[in-house]
Structure 1
Amino acid sequence: MIPGATAASFLLVVILGAMSPGPDFVVVTRSSLAGGRRAGVAAGAGVALGVFAWVVAIAFGVAAVLTASAVAFSVVKLVGAGYLVFLGVKAWLAVRRGDYGDLGDAKAAGSLEAGAAFRQGLFTNLLNPKVAVYFLALLPQFLPADGSTLQTLELAAIATAGTVAWFAALALVVGALKRFFSDGRVRRGLDAVLGSVLVALGLKVAAETA
């Protein structure tokens, strides 16, 4: 078992990492804007499942193989970059259409459903091999020298819980500002900004060397 103090420290580091601006943050924020709190929480859950999958892959050595292979790393990275650009273009198209409905109306035109938001969060995280690199560097700091696979899986569960907690809080904050974000002009401006950020992140990821 992971000692309580170690688990608490790891949880704090994971939450602080999740709070840093990046693709996951942008996707959850836009999901909350496009579909309300439910979609935002679903996107956060998708991100958290991606984190869990990466840590489990590390526990069984799969992630180490990926990061050791320049070709595999580059393929996953480029696919992930393309996906971010795709999401950004979707945001731009929403701006062009201007189909903004009330966040509280799940059937409103342009409203993002929870299932779609979950998939966006999941794929954004899974297609980002930098997440594997991050946890490959982080996990040894919280595992004993003779750490077992079970202890790594414990950390995976903690990382998942911390990620869900942060992104659920983010979605709730955006949801609490529903009246402000329900304004079509505000939503249009935010979609334009967030879409541009997603495209820029995608191009940045594609341009980076492994």
Structure 2
Amino acid sequence: MDAVTSVAQIAAFGGVVLLGAMSPGPDFAVVVRRSAVSGRGHGMAAAAGIAMGVFVWVVAAATGVAALLAASALAFTVVKVVGAAYLIYLGAKSLRAALRGGGALDLSVPEPGGRGSWAAFAEGLLTNALNPKAALFFVALVPQFLASGLSVLTLSAVALAGTVAWFLVVANVVSLLRAVFARPAVRRTVDGLTGVALIGLGVKLATTSSP
């Protein structure tokens, strides 16, 4: 593959991954809530976790693991149920925060359940990694670009960079508006809408049929 073709293929792959990242879904909801309620640092940590999840899915798709998941009804169902349960759990937490008055969460204070940037990172990672729809997306996408001559490392790096770039933009834009989100009524609205969205996405995922 010559240099021009390689650059074109990388740009095409990066563009598709970016469009996938920009589509509304649980990843977007998690980054927005973390950034609005807990600040830029936590939003960026969640963004990094989501990007790492995408990196894992690209490698899995390239090595055939994701294809196995897509082909196995049992494996697909297990990941689907766990992922749906996790989204519903996150949604319930958001709704509970809304009902309590939408107070800002101080995630820098250590708690038994584990709080802070690592918790935000883990939340982003699990939200993406437990979504079997991500597996289907990359199973359909990655082999096409591997066949064109791009390496697994290149595809993984491009997917990681594109995803983290988009969600870092989201985290920073939302955090700039944090003065607005600091108002109790706005916080309650953000928590309530995010909770409803995550629970809805969890229910939708739970009712998704295997491919």
> 1:101 & 1:73 partners in 2: Cα distance?
36
Structure 2: where are the runs of 5+ without partners?
Answer: 110-114
Q: Tell me what 1:95 maps to.
A: 98
State the shift of 1:90 in Å.
Answer: 0.3
Q: How many Å apart are 1:99 and its aligned residue?
A: 5.6
Distance 1:208 1:51 in 2: 20
Task: Assess if the C-alpha contact under 8 Å between 1:80 and 1:128 holds in 2.
Answer: yes
User: CA contact under 8 A between 1:14 and 1:162: conserved in structure 2?
Assistant: yes
Superposition deviation, residue 106 in structure 1:
4.8
User: Could you list the runs of 4 or more consecutive aligned residues of structure 1 that deviate by over 3 angstroms after TM superposition?
Assistant: none
Question: Do the aligned partners of 1:35 and 1:114 also contact (CA within 8 Å) in 2?
Answer: no
Deviations 1:80-104, CA, capped at 9 Å, x for gaps: 000000000000111122262388x
The correspondence of residues 41-80 of structure 1 with structure 2, limited to 5 A, is 41-80=44-83
Pair 1:157 & 2:160 matched:
no
Aligned pair count?
203
**1:131 aligned residue (131, 134, 150):** 134
Q: Deviations over 1:9-63 (max 9, x none)?
A: 2112211110100111111111112211111111010001001111111222111
Aligned position for 1:114:
117
Unaligned stretches of 5+ in structure 1? none
State the match for 1:4 in structure 2.
7
For 1:207 and 1:84, the matched residues in 2 are separated by 13
Instruction: Specify the code of the residue in structure 2 equivalent to 1:159.
Output: A
Q: Is the 8 A contact 1:102 1:182 kept in 2?
A: no
- The residue number in structure 1 matching 2:186 is 186
Match of 2:86 in 1: 83
What percentage of residue pairs aligned between the two structures are identical? 52
- CA deviations on 1:122-152 (whole Å, 9 max, x unpaired) are 001110111011011112333335x47xx02
Name the TM-score, length of structure 1 as normaliser: 0.90
Asked if the contact 1:47/1:122 (under 8 Å) is kept, the reply is yes
CA RMSD of aligned residues (A): 2.1
Partners in 2 of 1:142 and 1:60 — Cα distance?
A: 13
